Amino acid sequence: MSRDGERLIETVNELGSRVGHLLSDMVPPAAQVHLLNAQRELITALMLIYEHRVTATPAGGRRRPASTGARRAPARRRPSKRVGKIPID
């Protein structure tokens, strides 16, 4: 993980702990557990999104497996078997 990713985790954790301390007097203990679990899930989702964006190929390029060096030709459409006009009564 990059240093930026580590800083992001630290910032989100710090923000979460500060908000948790502020709300600890107003929120019952059972609700605090649920909020902490939700916070962990949110942090995990944010980190996965961040890592995906950092490791994605630029300009929406398509990744190819490293073992294959050849590109496949684009699929061509076959011409329709119906060549003439269809009579309408």
Q: Is 12 exposed, middle or buried (0-12, 13-18, 19+ CB in 10 A)?
A: middle
Mean pLDDT per segment of 10 residues, for the chain of length 89 residues?
Answer: 76 81 81 86 87 76 55 68 72
pTM check: above 0.85: no
The domains of the chain are located at: 3-58
